[in-house]
Structure formats: structure tokens, C-alpha cells
Structure 1
Amino acid sequence: MSVTGEVALVTGATSGIGRATALQLAWRGAHVLISGRDADRGAAVVTEVRNGGGTADFLAADLADPDSCRALAQNAIATAGQVDILVNNAAIAPMGPTPTIAEADLDACYAVNVKAPFFLVAALAPAMAERGHGTIVNVSTMVASFGTVGSGVYGSSKAALELLTKSWAAEFGPRGVRVNAVAPGPTMTDGTAEVLGEAGLTRLAKGSPARRFAAADEIADVVCYLAGTGAGFVHGAVVPVDGGRSAV
């Protein structure tokens, strides 16, 4: 699972699964570029990485804006020289009955969850392919593969990301770039704690064989596996990390 000497760009890395992934990649030897909107939270993650003996930099970006996505890719290269690992983790999740979803929320969800990964891959994958080496890991969700009330917008955006994962694997895999995705189930993060709380996450997890929700580090473990050398023969996979929910 070595990522020593690699440069990893992680979007949405100031909290939750993105933060856990950034920390794990750094402690496994990667130089991590931590992207997010909140400079104070970004600085805190950079400090945590450096205090643990790792290397990291913060790159501010608002991924709802295509120009900001392209600027993030350029800033990443300017800061670290190249990007070897791209983790598309940033996402927003408007929830609710279909008639209540505002057009602006629909557009914002697709901008961050679909268009931002698309533009970042378009900007960074060709250089990976030229070097003959690179990994891209997209963070999806278990509700991209089955219907639930209120998650249609969020789930459909992640379903699009899963199809892009497979398309990018076919496009860039022959030139040494592995593209995969993880599909988390209920996971305790600052965001889910605020929206659902422990009780809500527990209800969501009741239908899974694990009968519990995940910690962010458990999702990050699988992201790091897919990013590392141990997954060298894994291309175009969507790995469920959902406590078995997709199996029942």
C-alpha cells in the first residue's frame, strides 16, 4: 500500500472522510495537497500532518466554479511539481422530496459532485498518462446503486461519478493510470453528525450485516488501499464500504 514519495491532491480534505484520507496518505509517505474552502480548517489539517512528521500544503478552492477547478489543478502542479494521486472526495448532498429541491441546489450538486471531478481529471490525468503512472480514487455513496426516498439528486450525481470512474479506467488505464471508486455507507463525520446525528446513522445502518455505522478512518483505509501499490491490478472498480448493505 506504499505511497511514499507520491504527491496526493485530496478535495474536501478539511473534514470528514477527506481529512481522514489526507492524514493517512501523509502518514504513509505522500506529500498531501489539502483542498477545501475553509483556510482555517485547512491550516489545522496541515499542522496535524506536519506535527506527525508528514508533508502537506493547503490549496483553497471552490469546486462549484469550473475555473476554480482548473486553477486548483494548476496550483497543485505549481506547488508540488506534479500530482500522482487524485482523490475526488468533495461533495454536497441536497436531500428531500423531489418537488422541494430547488433548481439552484440541483445545479450546485452536479457542479461539485460531477463537473468538478470531471474537470480535475481532464486537467491532471493526461500528465499522469504521459508519465505512465497515477491513481484516481472517486468517493461515491451506497445510494448511487439503489433508490431511497429523498436522495435522488445526491444519489444520481454519484451514480454519474461511478460511470465516469469506469469510463476513465478504460480511457487512461492502458497508459498506467488506475481509476477506481469507493461507495461508503453511513459514516460518522462532522457533517453527518450535524444532519443525522448518531441515532439517524444507526437507523440507516440497521439494514446492513455490520449493524453499525463507519468511522471516517474506515473509509479512508480503502481509499488509501486503492491509491497504493497493493491495488496495482484494480481498475474501474466501485468498492462498497457499507457494512455489507449492498449485499443484502
Structure 2
Amino acid sequence: MKRGMTPQEPTGRIALITGATSGIGRAVAFRLARDSLVVVVSGRDRSRGEKIVSDIRAQDGTAHFVPADLHDGASAAHLAQRATEVAGGHVDVLVHSAGAGILGPTAKTTESEFDHLFAINVKVPYLLTGHLAPAMAARGDGAIVSVSSIASGRGIDGLAAYAASKAAIDQLTRSWAAEYGPHGVRVNAVMPGATETPMIAPARGFFETLADRAPARRLAGPDADQRDRT
């Protein structure tokens, strides 16, 4: 058995993680599998998704892969339906980890880039929550976790559009907590700093400079103990 996975009795709880084929989403998938949740891995890359599912199963976890290129209402609706089907009829935990980024001056950001960013970072989480949270509330139990960013509360030159999208996620989190919290659904957002994921690779130097201002003075890793990184 691979280091890091201790067999436990299945909890019967189902977790859907978007953007789970790399970075933070991948680390979350392994962690929830270690905690004995059934994990639905979702992402665009089928080969990576199937490899993650295979690795989780090899560690005595339970996982399924649902491919999804999340960018609009139809893709969100399809993922909600397929994830519910493969999970056996319900999703208990929804993790919004899929995301996109834009680095550069406001004046050089095109309308299509801006729309694409907000579609992935804001519209899809909003619609996906709308598809899955009501059933959680009806059962009186569930959890929704969104990956935000410390950029949502700071002014960082070159990250205006990205920061705005994450600020929107922060406000959605507050609103969803007010909407679904009274019905037993826990709603939270996490705000990581500069993290070493494939998304930052094209501008690694920029994010290393940001990380150098933090106490640890280095990029964070998606998984704190790094056991699941390749």
C-alpha cells in the first residue's frame, strides 16, 4: 500500500471536486479519499483524471472520474447530473477548485479573456452550487468549499481581473452560508497564497516574488505534506 493512505471504513459520503486533475484539486481528492469519502474527480484531461482515480483505488480509496470542460451553464448542468449518477444518487461535498487566471494590465485584458475568466471562476461555481446545494439542504447535511485566493482582499498589480473573480467567490460564500447554512449545509472558502500549480507555471517568477513577501518566503505546495505530488 502506498504511503499516506490508511484503510478506513467508508463513510458513505460523496465528494465532487472540480479541477481535480492537478494542483490543489488533485491534493484535495487524495486527502478526502484518505478520509474515506467516495471521490468524484472532475477535470478536462481524461488521462490525468483516470490516473488519479487509479492511484486512489490502489491506495484502497474509492474514486470515479467524470470529464468536464467547465465554461458555461450547460457544462455545469452536465457535470452535476453525471456526478450524481456515478456517485449513486447524491453529492454530499462540493469543492470548487477549477479555476483560470489572467496576469497583466487591465488595458491589455481582452473582453473574451475577461469573460472566460469569470465564466470558470464565478459563473460555473454559482450554477453548479445551484444544481447540487438544494438537495444537500433537503437532506439537512452537506458541505461546499470554494478555493479563493489571498488576492481577493489585496491590491496586486497585474491581478485585477483574477482578484475580482475571487472576491466574487468570497461574497458568494457568505451568501450561500446565509442561504443554505440554516438547512445544515456548511459553506466555506479557503484563501491560499502563491501555490506551485500548473496554472502559475507561465509566470512563475512573478509568483515567486509574491511568495517572497510571505513569512515562509517560498511558494506553497498543493498538499502540505507533499505525499501526493508527482
Q: TM-score, normalised by structure 1?
A: 0.84
Q: Alignment partner for residue 27 of structure 2, among 20, 26, 34? A: 20
Q: Deviations over 1:46-77 (max 9, x none)?
A: 11111111011111111102101011001111
**Would you say the 8 A contact 1:34–1:59 is kept in 2?**
yes
Counterpart code for 1:210: A
Q: Deviations over 1:145-201 (max 9, x none)?
A: 011111001110010010000000000000000100001101112332x2233x544
**Would you say the 8 A contact 1:17–1:219 is kept in 2?**
no
1:69 aligns with 2:113: no
Two-structure CA RMSD over aligned residues (Å): 1.7
Q: Alignment partner for residue 43 of structure 2, among 36, 45, 49? A: 36
**Would you say the 8 A contact 1:114–1:161 is kept in 2?**
yes
**Would you say the 8 A contact 1:184–1:219 is kept in 2?**
no
In structure 2, do the counterparts of structure 1 residues 177 and 219 end up closer, same or farther at CA, with 3 Å as the change threshold?
farther
- Shift of residue 218, structure 1, vs aligned partner: 2.7
Which residue number in structure 1 is paired with residue 156 of structure 2?
Answer: 148
- Percent of matched pairs sharing the same residue: 48
5 Å matches for 1:68-107?
68-80=75-87, 81-107=89-115
User: Is there any run of 5+ residues in structure 2 with no aligned partner, and where?
Assistant: 1-8
Q: Alignment partner for residue 123 of structure 2, among 115, 124, 146? A: 115
- Moved beyond 6 Å, runs of 4+: none
**Would you say the 8 A contact 1:128–1:177 is kept in 2?**
yes
Counterpart code for 1:107: D
| Structure with the bigger percentage of helix | 1
1:182 aligns with 2:190: yes
Q: TM-score, normalised by structure 2?
A: 0.90
- Shift of residue 3, structure 1, vs aligned partner: 8.4
Partner Cα separation in structure 1 for residue 128 and residue 65 of structure 2:
17
User: Is there any run of 5+ residues in structure 1 with no aligned partner, and where?
Assistant: 221-248
In structure 2, do the counterparts of structure 1 residues 19 and 111 end up closer, same or farther at CA, with 3 Å as the change threshold?
same
* Structure with larger RCO (C-alpha < 8 A, sep 6+): 1
